[in-house]
């Protein structure tokens, strides 16, 4: 959510930003909220002035009575009574206008960075840099589900009987490799100075509305029937919401946290849930990182965070590239974002495995996360998030890039301590 002052002072900038995001249907909202804000401030001023006048007049009644100026005192009482009748109506109007303004402000997108590429959708995202050699092997690499099944490590048929499409069983060495990746990612981020966290896996609706846009909520979140609770789509949601309505100390910033959680997503509007593989699914596990910092530090942390992803994937022999997200591919709260994509030797193309985002103060403003500066003033913090790893997709990249012609998988050296010292896994 942007600051209402920006609409008061520069409506055209906000409108131009909406056009860059190809959301022209939201353009009328800018003028609407501008006019509502004028009415709100006028109403508030009138109510405040009336309350001040009432208090001043009330203070004189006693003195008038003591001085036997009964007629003047009665006249003052009548005026106070009239004001008492007017003030609740003004307060009700003020509250109604404030609610309308808040509702509209929640759907006006955050201002994007000046250097974000302009484009309608992810097809206009821009490759910036590659890391590691994207190899094409002289032998065929099977589909990832077939690789897992060759180790008796994947059973989607049983999951379909138990839960339905979009779920899976992992077993044996594949399940162990999945857990090893998560454990390695946890320790990798702890070594970077991040505090490890296991957060709640469900959050209330007010927290959901604070961490994401309404369209994301509708397309992603599973609602718990009969309760004001949602299953998280990523642990960023509950980690950032941990600081809801908090006034932090400037000396406490930056707050850097990494968390493990299962994640649950409806995937509404996605390109279909895969029947065979585990690329797009309803349930998965993930290691996440978040940062809450001062505004002047957020760009620096953004660069650190996506670089951590590159470093981690390269430590596991996986080539990656950085892709800059264009304006139309940015969620409404994002100032800038990039995807880290892993190389698929089988498909001979890259696919998304991490997403790093700087949301500036948009998320903190919705959640009322502020910090008190040394001079006593208060300011909204900046929030950032990035995937450390999401093993279903990360596992695909790991298996394909370490697949051997005999069907075995070389375990990268960094993962071997988490696999009991094993150097490879072989077909059963």
CA 139 to the chain's CA centroid: 40
DSSP string for 174-225:
HHHHHHHHHHHHHHHHHHTTPEEE---SEE-HHHHHHHS-HHHHHHHPEEPT
Report the C-alpha gap between 2 and 16 in whole angstroms. 14
Cross-strand pairs, 261 = 286
* Sheet with 195-197, edge to edge strand ranges: 126-131, 320-324, 336-344, 349-358, 382-389, 283-293, 255-264, 195-197
Element (H, E) at 293: strand 283-293
Cross-strand pairs, 116 = none
Mention every residue, 6+ apart, whose C-beta is less than 8 A from residue 423: 410, 411, 416
Sign of the torsion formed by the C-alpha atoms of 252, 256, 261 and 263? positive
In 3D space, the residue among 332, 360, 364, 359 whose CA is nearest the CA of residue 243 turns out to be 364
- CA-derived radius of gyration, the chain: 28
With contact defined as beta carbons under 8 Å apart, do 255 and 193 qualify?
no
Cross-strand pairs, 378 = 372
Q: Helix, strand or coil for residue 159?
A: helix
With contact defined as beta carbons under 8 Å apart, do 170 and 379 qualify?
no
Q: What is the pLDDT of residue 110?
A: 96
Element (H, E) at 338: strand 336-344
In 3D space, the residue among 161, 156, 182, 181 whose CA is nearest the CA of residue 171 turns out to be 156
With contact defined as beta carbons under 8 Å apart, do 407 and 324 qualify?
no
Q: Where are the alpha helices (DSSP H) in 126-171?
A: 144-150, 156-162
Q: Can you read off the two tokens belonging to residue 282?
A: 């309803």
DSSP state of 428: -
Backbone torsions φ then ψ of 376, nearest 5 degrees? 95, -15
Residue with tokens 């004028």: 38
Q: Helix, strand or coil for residue 277?
A: coil
Q: What is the pLDDT of residue 75?
A: 82
Q: What is the pLDDT of residue 196?
A: 97
Average pLDDT by stretches of 10, the chain with 428 residues: 94 97 97 96 91 82 77 80 86 94 95 97 96 94 94 92 90 96 97 97 93 79 93 93 96 97 77 64 93 98 98 96 97 96 95 96 96 95 96 92 96 97 90
Sign of the torsion formed by the C-alpha atoms of 315, 320, 322 and 323? negative
The correct CATH number of 4-105 out of 1.10.3720.10, 1.10.287.40, 1.10.760.10, 1.10.300.10 is 1.10.287.40
Q: Helix, strand or coil for residue 282?
A: coil
- CATH fold, domain 122-425, is BirA Bifunctional Protein; domain 2 (3.30.930)
In 3D space, the residue among 274, 68, 118, 288 whose CA is nearest the CA of residue 186 turns out to be 288
DSSP string for 348-383:
TEEEEEEEEEE-TTHHHHHHT-EEE-TTS-EEE-EE
Residue with tokens 């501008």: 34
In 3D space, the residue among 305, 276, 272, 303 whose CA is nearest the CA of residue 289 turns out to be 305
The domain limits of the chain are: 4-105, 122-425
Distances (CA, A) of 230 to 110, 203, 262, 280, 311: 24, 5, 13, 20, 33
């Amino acid at each position: 959510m942007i600051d209402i002052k920006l609409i008061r002072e520069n409506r055209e900038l906000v409108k131009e930003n909406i056009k860059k995001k190809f959301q022209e249907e939201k353009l009328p909202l800018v003028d609407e909220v501008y006019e509502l804000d004028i009415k709100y401030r006028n109403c508030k001023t009138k109510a405040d002035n009336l309350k001040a006048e009432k208090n001043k007049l009330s203070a004189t009644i006693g003195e008038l009575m003591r001085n036997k100026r009964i007629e003047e005192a009665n006249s003052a009482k009548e005026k106070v009574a009239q004001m008492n009748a007017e003030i609740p109506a003004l307060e009700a109007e003020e509250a109604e206008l404030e609610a309308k303004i808040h509702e509209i402000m929640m759907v006006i997108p955050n201002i994007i960075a000046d250097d974000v590429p302009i484009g309608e959708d992810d097809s206009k995202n821009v490759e910036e840099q590659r890391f590691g050699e994207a190899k094409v092997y002289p032998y065929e690499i099977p589909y990832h589900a077939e690789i897992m099944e060759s180790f008796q490590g994947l059973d989607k048929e049983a999951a379909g009987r138990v839960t339905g499409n979009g779920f899976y069983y992992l077993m044996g060495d594949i399940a162990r490799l999945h857990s090893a990746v998560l454990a390695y990612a946890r320790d990798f981020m702890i070594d970077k100075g991040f505090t490890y966290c296991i957060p709640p896996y469900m959050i209330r609706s007010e927290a959901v509305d604070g961490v994401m846009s309404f369209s994301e909520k509708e397309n992603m979140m599973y609602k718990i029937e009969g309760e004001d609770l949602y299953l998280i789509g990523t642990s960023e949601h509950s980690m950032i919401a941990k600081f809801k309505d908090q006034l932090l100390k400037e000396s406490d910033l930056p707050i850097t946290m990494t968390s493990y959680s299962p994640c649950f997503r409806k995937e509404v509007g996605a390109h279909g849930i895969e029947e065979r593989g585990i690329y797009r699914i309803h349930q998965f596990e993930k290691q996440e990182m978040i940062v809450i910092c001062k505004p002047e530090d957020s760009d620096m942390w953004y660069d650190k965070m996506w670089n951590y992803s590159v470093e981690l994937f390269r430590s596991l022999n996986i080539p990656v590239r950085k892709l800059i997200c264009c304006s139309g591919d940015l969620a409404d709260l994002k100032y800038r974002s990039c995807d880290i994509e892993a190389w698929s030797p089988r498909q001979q193309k890259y696919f998304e495995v991490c997403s790093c985002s700087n949301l500036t103060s948009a998320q903190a403003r919705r959640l009322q996360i502020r910090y008190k500066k040394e001079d006593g003033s208060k300011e909204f913090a900046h929030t950032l998030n990035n995937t450390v790893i999401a093993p279903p997709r990360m596992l695909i990249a790991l298996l394909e890039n370490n697949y051997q012609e005999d069907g075995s998988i070389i375990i990268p050296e960094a993962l071997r301590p988490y696999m009991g010292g094993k150097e490879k896994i072989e077909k059963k």
